[in-house]
Structure 1
Amino acid sequence: MTEHPPASALPWARDLGLRLRERFWLKFIGTVVWVWVFFIGYFHLLRHPAQPAFVMPLTAVDRWVPFQPGWLVPYLSLWVYVGVAPGLQRGLAPLLSYGFWSAALCAAGLGVFWLWPTQIPPMAVPAGAPGFGLLQGIDAAGNACPSMHVAVSIFTAIWLEHLLRTAGAPAALRALNLGWFAAIAWSTLAVRQHVLWDVLAGAALGAVFAWASLRWRPAEPLPPAPGAAV
């Protein structure tokens, strides 16, 4: 395994700020293109499944969780959350490695959707709930298991925990990261886009890829020395 540098000697806020500014536009455009390419494959398989979709069974948890329209905001916040971890990468090689592993995660999820199409069972959503007519019109009930919302968010959460710990960020910021992930995962149930089995499968898929990406990655460059010009 590649040896990695110790935690940054810089103050954590300065370290994170330098990380965010480094190659900002490459990270921003790369993340947008990555999401766009994923959606091309996702919606193609959603509208053209290779075979009839298997309907995922409901569990007692799914029957217990009420429809909570306010959780649509955390649900949609995934598309902001996914940009934070690549935004904090230091060095071109680690950034490209992160992009490779996140793309591999998405390819694996799309592969499952192609080999084993799934959908959630009909679940009532009150008429007139703001935003849900549009959401259900765009993102139909298919491509259910694994939940890629959960897979990508846990991949991001694990990476952010690593990056924040490396920068020496305070526990409150690291807890905020875990809370954001938990809110996204919960929202998939609360807005009736997934059932529990989808969430568990997505969490397992994302965690495996996060572990592999942290295990096999290039060394991150050393941060600049405190007081050095950057």
Structure 2
Amino acid sequence: MHPNPRQPWTHELGQRLRVHQPLKIVGTTVWIWIFFVGYFHLLRNPMRPVMEMPLTVIDAWIPFQPVWLIPYLSLWVYVGIAPGLQRNFRELVVYGLWSGALCLAGLAFFALWPTRIPLQPMDAGGFPGFALLRGIDAAGNACPSMHVAIAIFTACWIEHIFKSAGAPLLLRAVNIAWFLAITYSTLATGQHVVLDAVSGALLGGVFAWASLRWRPSSMGAVEPGAVVAIIDRH
């Protein structure tokens, strides 16, 4: 898919955002809600013995930083960008099916191989909202990190859309920086360990590549390189 040279990237992205806007907002909200129903059910009712994830040397290097709760929670804004930029109803449905398949794969891992992070002393220093997060999202459902999986899936799709629309490199860099901030936040807030994040990146990367590779031909030329571009830069 190549942008129309007579149409600036701002115009194309603006058009994409306006198409089926209420459906995109409601659909993304419902998609997140359904995922959390399954997520919290498995978190509170593991089907097998729960395995504790091992720590790595890198985990020892990353201190607990509660301020990173802000980018951690920003995922739930970030995930709305890619579906919000889908060009038509068919693209939106295809995107929703692939992202739903990613979530089902993650839930399957949690059902068949329950994991948790090691319990570690953490002092949030009264940082607002952190105690609530720790109370709701316990240490289970650790590997793969679905936070990272969904973030890289979203990042690859946004990169693909920005590139095809001819968006400037600065905007594309902001997308990658946001993804990296979310990924680091899963470690800095003590919600995941490095092996969780790496596994999540692999899971989300595979689904991002597949979703960009296998799509209806009418959705434009296939550019699976968006996945490789993000990973290769880092």
* TM-score clears 0.5: yes
- Quote the residue 1:184 is aligned against: 182
- Quote the residue 2:33 is aligned against: 36
- Quote the residue 2:81 is aligned against: 84
- Quote the residue 1:97 is aligned against: 94
Q: How many residues end up aligned between the 2 structures? A: 218
1:168 matches 2:166: yes
- Quote the residue 1:125 is aligned against: 122
The one-letter code of the counterpart of 1:191 is T
The one-letter code of the counterpart of 1:8 is N
Secondary structure of the residue that 1:122 maps to in structure 2? coil
Retained in 1: the 8 A contact 2:66–2:124?
A: no
Retained in 2: the 8 A contact 1:109–1:148?
A: yes
**How do residues 1-230 of structure 1 correspond to structure 2 at under 5 angstroms?**
5-9=1-5, 10-126=7-123, 128-130=125-127, 131-218=129-216, 219-220=218-219
Retained in 2: the 8 A contact 1:8–1:166?
A: no
Counterpart Cα distance in 1 of 2:22 and 2:88: 14
| Percent of aligned pairs with the same amino acid | 62
Secondary structure of the residue that 1:141 maps to in structure 2? coil
The one-letter code of the counterpart of 1:99 is G
RMSD: 1.3
TM-score, normalised on structure 1? 0.92
Counterpart Cα distance in 2 of 1:157 and 1:149: 12
Q: Which structure 2 residue ranges, 5 or more long, are not aligned?
A: 221-234
Counterpart Cα distance in 1 of 2:126 and 2:194: 22
Counterpart Cα distance in 2 of 1:123 and 1:176: 33
For residue 91 of structure 1, report the CA deviation from its aligned partner: 1.4
For residue 29 of structure 1, report the CA deviation from its aligned partner: 0.4
For residue 6 of structure 1, report the CA deviation from its aligned partner: 2.3
Q: Which structure 1 residue ranges, 5 or more long, are not aligned?
A: 222-230
TM-score, normalised on structure 2? 0.91
Retained in 2: the 8 A contact 1:8–1:168?
A: no
Ranked by relative contact order (alpha carbons within 8 Å, sequence separation 6 or more), the top structure is 1
Secondary structure of the residue that 2:219 maps to in structure 1? coil
